[in-house]
Structure 1
Amino acid sequence: MAAKKKGFLDIIKKEIGEAGYDGDQFGGAGGHDGRGLPTEMPSNFMFATGIECSYPTIKKGKIRRDQLRECGHYDRYKEDLGLVKELGLKVLRYGLPYYDIHKGPGKFDWEFADAAMGEIKRLGITPILDLMHFGVPDWVENFQNPELPMHFAEYAEEVAKRYPWVRYYTPVNEIYVTAKASGKDGIWNEQLKSDKGFVTAMKHATAASIIGTQQIAKHRNDCIIVQSESAEYTHELYATPSPEVSLENELRFLSLDLLYANPPSATVGMYLLDNGMTRQEYDWFMAGQPPGYQIMGNDYYGRNERIRLPDGSIQISMDVLGWYEITKDYYVRYKKPVMHTETNVFESELASDWLNKQWISILRMRRDGVPVLGFTWYSLTDQIDWDTQLAEQNNKVNECGLYDLDRKPRPVAAAYKRILDEFGQITVVPHAEMLEISDRPARLKVEI
């Protein structure tokens, strides 16, 4: 009987042995698999947390809700930033208190900002600097003020000049939520309840983001802009969909449509013109996109997704479509690199499971070829009164942080650390080990 002919693998094992071949230790078939905490390489996926910094006014402007103060950050900023470092995170969504820094045209108070930014730089943390988070200085009044874009642009430029080492920015956080809560839902700031109030707040906040980004780019022409917008959707249990909800599901795209010069539907276009946007203003938004490398951040909480029942009541649906399906709609619309920029749940005992579900959605999205560049658990610590969207001063602790307000870790901190240990060195762009965020200036991109 003839001897069995050896295959190539038998020959390799005979010559090299079972341990592997030269080069495996550098990441071959049996080499590096992406485990380990993130390095400081720009090719790393951006694992992040954020420090909650909302500061809208309520009670007709008489009360300022400042989450940095209410959650103790002003007094414990060094401790908080140390926790970010201790957890192994390299990236932090961080918002300076715009309302408290910009004292008037040409007037600024940088005392706290300099201290905090100095500590961030010392620790080697990469900040995604959040410049406007749901509120404006008292002297600007509110989002109905047409002078807001230029006042904000002055502030954005001064920040870019003062901290030239910062490259990542979120100029205006959640523009859609800002405009809706302030101009349509009557919760914050001007507290209007009208379509015109919503459209006015929307165009002013979006214009502020565009003009502010232009000022940043003057001083940092390689700026990376992480737009953070709420991923919304309302389902209807109606045999005949209602025009109101159909319009609402279109309006959720409006801030990014204006920002990215993407013509909205005819229905939304007529709505804008009916509620105070001029044709000249519309043409200005449609003229082109703002400068910088643009990343589309989508914030997803289960409470962003709602079901309207036949009796008209609203039920929080918690993950019917989920971050994956909703964000896919945004990606198909804008074709921008994606970042999951906020998520949490208020029940600390559910947080670890929620984190794992969000991470699985990200892995699936990346495997489908969508460039998801980063993930953020928001926020580092618990928050106060977000169950009422800050509308009521109940001093209720929302247990949504990686740490409680005594800076003790919640179980989700250990769950996040496990994800970091397992996936911390995956690439920022899926299937693209040779690609990284370069240091070349951003320039006009022509789509063919």
Structure 2
Amino acid sequence: MRCSWRELSSRCCRSPWHSSWPRDISSRAYPPPDSSRGRVSTKGFQQGSFRWLLGIEDTSVYPQPGSGMVVLDEFELTGHSLQWREDLLSVARLGATGLRYGVNWPRVHLAPGVFDWSVLDERLELAVNDLGLVVIADMVHYGTPTWLDGSFADPRYPDLVAEFCGAFAERYRGLVDHMTPLNEPLTTASFCGLRGVWPPALEGWRGWTTVTLAIVEGIRRSVAAVRTANPDVVIVHVEAASLYDTPHEHLSAEVGHLTAVGALPTDLLLGRVGVKHPMWSWLVENGASVAVLEGLLIAPPTVDLLGVNYYPDLTPRVLRAVGHDVHQHTSNQWTDGLRLVIERFTELYGLPMLITETSIEADELVRRKWLEESTAQVRELRREGHDVRGYTWWPLMDFVDWSYASGGRNVEEFVLDPSTTSGSASETYAERGSSVTPFLRRMGLVSLVEQVTGVLHREDTLAAAAFETEARG
């Protein structure tokens, strides 16, 4: 019999997703949640409505044995695996009525057809039935199960990710009816296909094309599986915004190319890349099969909501010539960049939108200022007719920089030090040691403070109070 979270709270709260979780768990049957209680309407984002959401950083990348990186599991690194109840309670305490939440595919899908839902059962019951949150399930956040040998480039990938998404949709139908099949195809393709940072560690534009086409096909099959299992599901397609500029005339073509690449995964998903598309020939030149591209034109999936991820200090990039190389520098465009992104997505796709990620890395005062001014900008955009139905501060709490899993090496496309002449890949974010504090990204409404025991204590920032004021206002 499945226990309620109140019954479970009297037990040890150590999560099976802790690092000591045995790796040889066999298939077990878990009864599904009682979805007759606290059913969340799939109309959680009706036209004219607006919802305040929070997200918990859930990057989950498990490398193959022998890889140059270690496991990157933000739920473990931030202590969420142990303090998940406190974190979920904080979401409701701060006035949010929605939650973007990762389901950790590498830890749940143990083998083809084998799942361990025990952790999600408990957490989703608390989030939905007891806290009344509308949960958008984040199905894939950059990583795949280690038994999927080729990761995103494995020919089995599209069917297996669809199997996972379909099984989730069937199990949690009526409890979680909003799903994102894969977070940020553009970022995933950059880290996994272009620059060889994460599995399958492909490189170059041919690698990018391989991963992107697999991701798009995986989303297509996932949406079909999900809609079969739960016809009421709302598909929230989440993509990273991209803004490029340059002071160098000879780099203007590169700006145009990167801008086009930024729209390409969503264009492919929505069946818009035909032979007359300006990127068709480029895709073919980089290994895309004409048959595959033509197949993506047939019966493209319906996306119900378009999630837009924008960070004022990270999203906008300036291309600069450094010797014979081109470096990407970040360029804070504040709310002007947010406006430009929303206007572009409206023009390109005309879909109802959510801001699914935004925040800024700065002290508490600047974080509060960004919250106040970005929400004011969103209100103005809505008054002008832009169909924005939600605002998500991501992340709820600080998180550990992704370089932690790569020995401290900078893993971003942009350089950390604008004065460098050697490129981003040669930079060090911080030196690995016994503490994660040097790697903490100060972007949350809740700060993480490392104790001598290694436990990360949670402390509200000034931005937390500002969010609550906005959400309850």
Give the TM-score category using the shorter length.
0.7 to 0.9
How many angstroms apart in 2 are the aligned matches of 1:359 and 1:183?
34
Task: Tell me by how many angstroms 1:41 deviates.
Answer: 7.5
**What do the CA deviations read for 1:60-119 (whole angstroms, capped 9, x no partner)?**
375220001111111111111111111121100001110011011111111211121121
Q: Which residue, out of 292, 313, 317, partners 2:327?
A: 313
Distance (Å, rounded) in 1 between the aligned partners of 2:376 and 2:406: 33
Residue 132 of structure 1: aligned partner? 140
1:323 corresponds to: 338
Quick check: 1:149 aligned with 2:158? Answer: yes
The answer on whether the counterparts of 1:382 and 1:399 sit within 8 Å (CA) in structure 2 is yes
SS of equivalent residue, structure 2 residue 392: strand
Residues 204 and 340 (structure 1 numbering): CA distance in 2 closer, same or farther, change over 3 Å?
Answer: same
Deviation at 1:305, TM superposition (A): 0.8
For residues 335-384 of structure 1, what are the alpha-carbon distances to aligned partners after superposition, in whole Å with 9 as ceiling and x for unaligned?
11111110111213321111123212211221221110111000111100
Residue equivalent to 2:226: 216
Which string of whole-angstrom CA distances, capped at 9 and with x for unpartnered residues, describes residues 16-52 of structure 1? xxxxxxxxxxxxxxxxxxxxxxxx9865412100011
Does the Cα contact within 8 Å between 1:57 and 1:65 map onto a contact in 2? Answer: yes
Q: 1:230-266 CA distances to partner (integer Å, 9 max, x unpaired)?
A: 0011101112344333211100001110111123764
Q: For 1:42 and 1:251, locate their aligned partners in 2 and report how far apart those are by CA, in whole Å.
A: 29
- Paired residues of 1:179 and 1:198 also in contact (CA < 8 A): yes
Evaluate the alpha carbon distance shift between residue 262 and residue 316 of structure 1 in structure 2; reply closer, same or farther with a 3 A threshold. same
Shift of residue 402, structure 1, vs aligned partner: 1.2
Q: Which residue number corresponds to residue 419 of structure 2?
A: none
Structural mapping, 1:95-106, within 5 Å: 95-106=102-113
Indicate yes or no: 2:235 matched with 1:225: yes
Name the amino acid aligned to 2:308.
N
1:418 correspondence with 2:423 = no
Q: SS at 2:355's partner residue?
A: strand
Matched, 1:409 2:414: no
**1:60, 1:191 within 8 Å by CA — same for their partners in 2?**
no
Instruction: Give the counterpart letter for 1:381 in structure 2.
Output: M
Q: Give the secondary structure class of the aligned counterpart of 2:60.
A: coil
**2:84 maps to which residue?**
77
Q: Residues of 2 paired with 1:310 and 1:194: CA distance?
A: 20
| Contact 2:368/2:462 (<8 A) preserved | yes
Q: Which residue of 2 aligns with 1:12?
A: none
- AA aligned to 1:268 is M
Match of 1:271? 282
1:158 corresponds in structure 2 to 167
Relative distance call for 1:239 and 1:305 in structure 2 (3 A) is same
- Matched with 2:353 is 338
| Distance (Å, rounded) in 1 between the aligned partners of 2:458 and 2:236 | 28
Q: Secondary structure at the match of 2:89?
A: helix
1:414 counterpart letter in structure 2: A
Structure 2 residue matching 1:360: 3-state secondary structure: helix
Q: Distance in 2 between matches of 1:48 and 1:280?
A: 40
Classify 1:97/1:161 alpha carbon distance in 2 versus 1 (closer, same or farther; 3 Å). same
Cα deviation 1:161-182 (Å, max 9, x = unaligned): 1111211111100011001111
Q: One-letter code of the match for 2:464?
A: A
CA distance in 2, matches of 1:411, 1:54: 26
CA distance, structure 1, for counterparts of residue 124 and residue 400 of structure 2: 24
- Distance, in Å, in 1 between the alignment partners of 2:310 and 2:100 is 15
1: distance between equivalents of 2:246 and 2:299?
A: 35
Give the superposition deviation at 1:267.
3.8
For 1:339, the aligned partner's letter is L
Structure 1 residues 180-202: Cα deviation after superposition (integer angstroms, max 9, x where no partner) = 11110222122222111101110
Cα distance in 1 between the residues matched to 2:53 and 2:115: 29
Give the letter aligned to residue 60 of structure 2.
Y
Q: 1:87 to 1:336 in 2, by over 3 A?
A: same
Correspondence for 1:50? 55
- 3-state SS in 2 of match to 1:290: coil
Note if contact 1:70-1:384 (Cα within 8 Å) is conserved in structure 2.
yes
Aligned to 1:385: 401
2:70–2:405 CA contact under 8 A, matched in 1: no
Separation of aligned partners in 2, 1:42 and 1:260? 21
Counterpart residue number, 2:299: 288
Query: Which residue is 1:202 aligned to?
Result: 212
Q: Secondary structure at the match of 1:234?
A: strand
2:13 aligned residue: none
RMSD between aligned residues: 2.0
Cα distance in 1 for residues equivalent to 2:70 and 2:296: 33
Letter matched to residue 327 of structure 2: S
Give the aligned residue type for 2:147. Answer: W
Give the aligned partner of residue 356 of structure 1.
372
Distance 1:194 1:106 in 2: 33
CA contact (8 A) 1:181 1:188 kept: yes
Unaligned residue ranges in structure 1 (runs of 5+): 1-39, 423-448
Relative distance call for 1:382 and 1:74 in structure 2 (3 A) is same
Query: Quick one: distance in 2 between partners of 1:373 and 1:138?
Result: 36
Q: Is the contact between residue 69 and residue 405 of structure 2 (CA under 8 Å) also seen in structure 1? A: no
Distance 1:205 1:74 in 2: 27
User: Which of 1 and 2 has higher RCO (CA within 8 Å, sep 6+)?
Assistant: 1
Match of 2:38 in 1: none
In the TM superposition, what are the counterparts of 1:431-442 in structure 2 within 5 Å?
Answer: none
Cα distance in 1 for residues equivalent to 2:314 and 2:133: 30
